[in-house]
Amino acid sequence: MLSRRGVIRLGAVAAGAAALPGTAAIGRRGRAWADVTAPPPFSVPLSVPETAVPVRRTATTDYYDMTIRDGAAEILPGVSTPIMGYEGRFPGPTIRAEAGRRVVVRQTNAMTHETVVHLHGGLVAPGQDGHPADAIAPGADRRYVYGNRQPAATLWYHDHSHHMEAEMVFRGLAGFYLLGDRRERRLGLPSGRYDVPLMLRDARFDEQGRLLFEMDDFRYRNTLLVNGRPQPYLRVAGRKYRLRLLNGSNERYFTLRLGEGDGDAMTVIASDGGLLPAPVTAASVTLSPAERVDVVVDFARYRPGTRVVLHNTDGTDDATTSVMRFDVGHRVPDFSRVPERLGRAHDLGEAVATRDIAMNLDLSTGRFVIDGRTFDMDRVDMRIKRGETEIWRVHNRDVQPSVPHNFHVHGTHFQVLDRNGRPVTGHEAGRKDTVAVPIGGDVRLKVRFDRYLGRYLYHCHLLDHSSMGMMAQAEVIA
């Protein structure tokens, strides 16, 4: 049995004692800087998660069956690492959905402990959203119905178990859910093999190559993975690619810069919730945990043979500043394009109310709290009327000690107005479901729930924080 109270009590300190079955012994090692020799950067090829195949298709619906189970993955070359995975894989299979067509996923829990599946960024009914109260018991299954009534976007699915999401996502329970639509296809953006999802995250391994999870252990998670491979390389043709970047880390931020010097321009085309109204050129993009950004990069501007490194300028050493490398090949014909107009503007209109939401580490208890309280799934923390726009001012009060937080809302896409009073730009001006909240500062969001009544979570998506209580729920009322 898992000890949920243990996780909370241990708070910001290591919670090895609360580790999942079969992993308890791993959490007790000393905090050596590097427990395993990672391969030299850019020595393993990138892999792209396989696409899930429906077991059945009807005129309206694609049906999938997935089993959530313990498995093994070759993350470090030649090393078999125990993981938890959808279909036993890390990352899980990619679900490709089409707006207007339903997706029904039957998830069977073949693990020895509970799990629950959340579609991050999906506008789904509360009962399909993967609320921690709707856990799938070991041996049981649950059908998730996703209506896909929202614009094309890079979404992802991951575990959301009560107090355990940090460890379970860390151990592999995450996959892409790529939603397309007609409008997007008509634009002529790079597609097919030139549309590459990239799940960026960090990990920590012990000397035997097992994932080593300790709560809030971000300093020691120093191996960067892309789609489950350490600092890989990808051979690309000399043409345009769409790169769908997801920060799948529990706690690490990425500031991504392509190439050397000030960075080679990337064309930002989409944020969490889908296409921006117009492309934006950027030399770097910052992603806090769970954020997505889609960029188009034209590798035709490099001479064949050029090696272009994707850097993380938030990194502190070689292991954490080099994310992956693109090895540019010959030019090929390229009929894709990035039009001047992309998606619809996301304007939530006049707000009728404002509220403040405060996030902090409560130093007297060692707990991560929202408005002074840890998550209680039986408590409703706010009520909001369906169809009414509100301004939420979200504060990060953790100046001393300084702790980064971000803010994620289920069941809707919000509009970020400003951060510390300054308007946001680039991908942050698009449809968002997750946003960074600066230390000692605030972000203001326009939020509106348009569709379903019921309870939706909001929380810090530094998953170790949410697992330790930094989560709350809103009830959407008529």
Interface residues toward Cu ion, by CB under 5 A: 120, 405, 410, 460, 462, 465
Choices 219-227, 350-358, 392-400, 455-463 (CB under 6 A): range interacting with ligand C2O: 455-463
Binding string to ligand C2O for residues 456 to 475, with x set by CB under 6 A, is what? -x-x-x--------------
Least distance in angstroms from the C-beta of 100 to ligand C2O: 24
Sign of CA dihedral 287, 155, 70, 20: positive
Rounded to whole angstroms, what are the CA distances from 189 to 50, 243, 432, 474? Answer: 21, 11, 21, 37
Does 160 bind ligand C2O (CB under 6 A)? Our answer is yes
164 SS3 class: coil
Q: Which of ligand C2O, Cu ion, none sits in contact with 295, Cβ below 5 to 8 A by type?
A: none
**Residue placing its CB nearer to Cu ion in the complex, 2 or 462:** 462
B/e letters for 139-150, b = 16+ CB within 10 Å, e = fewer, are eeebebebbbeb
Six token digits for residue 386: 């369906």
Residue 225: half-sphere exposure toward Cβ, Cα within 13 Å: 26
Q: Are 247 and 271 in contact (CB under 8 A)?
A: no
Binding-site size for ligand C2O (CB under 6 A) equals 10
Least distance in angstroms from the C-beta of 262 to Cu ion: 31
Rg over alpha carbons for the chain, rounded to the nearest Å, is 21
Least distance in angstroms from the C-beta of 409 to ligand C2O: 9
**Residue placing its CB nearer to ligand C2O in the complex, 142 or 160:** 160
Least distance in angstroms from the C-beta of 148 to ligand C2O: 18
Q: Which of ligand C2O, Cu ion, none sits in contact with 160, Cβ below 5 to 8 A by type?
A: ligand C2O
Q: Which of ligand C2O, Cu ion, none sits in contact with 462, Cβ below 5 to 8 A by type?
A: Cu ion
Q: Are 377 and 470 in contact (CB under 8 A)?
A: no
Q: Which helix (H) or strand (E) holds 144?
A: strand 141-146
**Residue placing its CB nearer to Cu ion in the complex, 71 or 130:** 130
Binding string to ligand C2O for residues 386 to 415, with x set by CB under 6 A, is what? ----------------------x-x-----
Alpha-carbon distance of 207 to 467, in angstroms, equals: 26
**Residue placing its CB nearer to ligand C2O in the complex, 82 or 85:** 85
**Residue placing its CB nearer to ligand C2O in the complex, 247 or 286:** 247
Closest CA to 458 of 442, 472, 446, 469: 472
Chain mean position to CA 218: 16
Does 120 bind ligand C2O (CB under 6 A)? Our answer is yes
**Residue placing its CB nearer to ligand C2O in the complex, 209 or 411:** 411
**Residue placing its CB nearer to ligand C2O in the complex, 246 or 280:** 246
Point out which residues pair with 102 in neighbouring strands.
61
Of the candidate residues 83, 99, 124, 290, the single one contacting ligand C2O (CB under 6 A): 290
Q: Tell me how crowded residue 260 is: count the other CB atoms within 10 A of its CB.
A: 10
Closest CA to 71 of 248, 211, 200: 211
4 SS3 class: helix
The residue type of 217 is: D
Six token digits for residue 309: 């490194």
Least distance in angstroms from the C-beta of 278 to ligand C2O: 27
**Residue placing its CB nearer to Cu ion in the complex, 75 or 361:** 361
**Residue placing its CB nearer to ligand C2O in the complex, 408 or 413:** 408
Least distance in angstroms from the C-beta of 160 to Cu ion: 8
φ/ψ of residue 239, rounded to 5 = -165, -175
Q: Are 451 and 361 in contact (CB under 8 A)?
A: no
Q: Which of ligand C2O, Cu ion, none sits in contact with 244, Cβ below 5 to 8 A by type?
A: none
Of the candidate residues 89, 101, 142, 158, the single one contacting ligand C2O (CB under 6 A): 158
Task: Give the per-residue SS3 of 378-447.
Answer: CCCCEEEECCCCEEEEEEECCECCECCEEEEECCCCEEEEEECCEECCHHHHCCECEEEECCCCEEEEEE
Alpha-carbon distance of 416 to 81, in angstroms, equals: 39
**Residue placing its CB nearer to Cu ion in the complex, 200 or 460:** 460
Least distance in angstroms from the C-beta of 29 to Cu ion: 25
Q: Which of ligand C2O, Cu ion, none sits in contact with 257, Cβ below 5 to 8 A by type?
A: none
Least distance in angstroms from the C-beta of 233 to Cu ion: 31
Alpha-carbon distance of 206 to 29, in angstroms, equals: 8
Q: Are 407 and 437 in contact (CB under 8 A)?
A: yes
Does 118 bind ligand C2O (CB under 6 A)? Our answer is yes
- The residue nearest ligand C2O at its CB is 120
Q: Which of Cu ion, ligand C2O, none sits in contact with 89, Cβ below 5 to 8 A by type?
A: none
Binding positions for ligand C2O, rule: CB under 6 A: 118, 120, 158, 160, 290, 408, 410, 457, 459, 461
